[in-house]
């Protein structure tokens, strides 16, 4: 499948984020991201500082229903073993600031709302011959399992844009940016260096700080797989005792 053709070049940044891979996998768009999205394997990385145990489950935010059901099984298992859940979710559902949404789209190519995720899934499925179709990640499958110790550890849309503008300057919107309906994608986006610095790196730092400061000794993390390496690096900056213990691949 030609994902560039299906989504349009301007959506590649967001697509790669949704797929759970680094933005710099651009030239591998025909293989790596799609292989991951059509996989049912759940990869669990155990990391520890000898006082806390963290299980990191690498997510891809568009995938097979079977994959998400497998993740749900791991959430239930971990919760029964005393883990709390930290999950990612930048909530655009109730965002009404049009300028903020336009700046977000300028950064990512598309506003990552549930409605736009659904459109992206439909486009991919329409161009696919696979019998099992893709679905968008639905956090409702993972929340309130066993107990309600579920914590959304992420930035707000406003925090993301503020952080970007503090580092790179105010995002300038063109006439096309302002006139294109907000539920549509755009082709001309900002440099991908800034996209990764904020969407990946800053959120890694935010997650690492939350883990390090948490009162809970056992934490299950559901985050895009692209965050795994950076998270461990940022944890080690805060506390050099953090190290990876093992990696387990389940439901192969």
With H, G, I as helix, E, B as strand and everything else as coil, classify residue 250: strand
* pLDDT surpasses 50 at 22: no
Instruction: Give this prediction's pTM.
Output: 0.87
Q: When comparing pLDDT for 110 and 20, which is higher?
A: 110
- CA dist., res. 126 & res. 20, Å (int): 21
Q: What angle do CA 209, 211, 215 make, to 5 degrees?
A: 115
What is the residue range of 150's domain?
Answer: 3-250
Q: What is the pLDDT of residue 230?
A: 94
Q: How many structural domains compose the chain?
A: 1
For the chain, the C-alpha Rg in angstroms (whole number) is 18
pLDDT at 127: 80
Give the tens place of pLDDT for each residue, 164-198. Answer: 999 999 999 999 999 999 998 888 888 877 878 88
């Amino acid at each position: 499948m030609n994902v560039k053709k299906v989504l349009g070049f301007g959506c590649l940044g967001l697509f790669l984020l949704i797929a759970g891979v680094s933005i710099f996998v651009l030239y591998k768009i025909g293989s790596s991201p799609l292989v991951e999205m059509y996989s049912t394997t759940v990869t669990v990385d155990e990391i520890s500082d000898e006082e806390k145990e963290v299980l990191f489950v690498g997510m891809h935010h568009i995938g097979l229903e079977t994959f998400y059901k497998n993740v749900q099984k791991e959430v239930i298992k971990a919760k029964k073993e005393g883990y709390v859940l930290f999950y990612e979710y930048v909530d655009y559902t109730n965002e009404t600031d049009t300028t903020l949404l336009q700046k977000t789209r300028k950064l990512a190519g598309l506003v990552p709302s549930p409605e736009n995720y659904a459109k992206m899934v439909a486009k991919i499925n329409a161009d696919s011959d696979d019998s099992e179709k893709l679905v968008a990640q639905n956090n409702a499958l993972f929340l309130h399992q066993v107990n309600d110790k579920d914590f959304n550890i992420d930035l707000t849309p406003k925090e993301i844009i503020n952080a970007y503008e503090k580092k790179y300057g105010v995002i300038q919107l063109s006439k096309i940016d302002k006139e294109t309906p907000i539920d549509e994608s755009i082709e001309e986006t900002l440099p991908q260096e800034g996209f990764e610095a904020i969407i990946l790196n800053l959120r890694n730092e935010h997650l690492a700080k939350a883990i390090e400061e948490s009162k809970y000794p056992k934490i299950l993390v559901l985050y895009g797989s692209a965050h795994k390496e950076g998270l461990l690096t940022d944890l080690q900056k805060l506390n050099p005792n953090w190290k990876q213990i093992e990696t387990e691949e389940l439901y192969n």
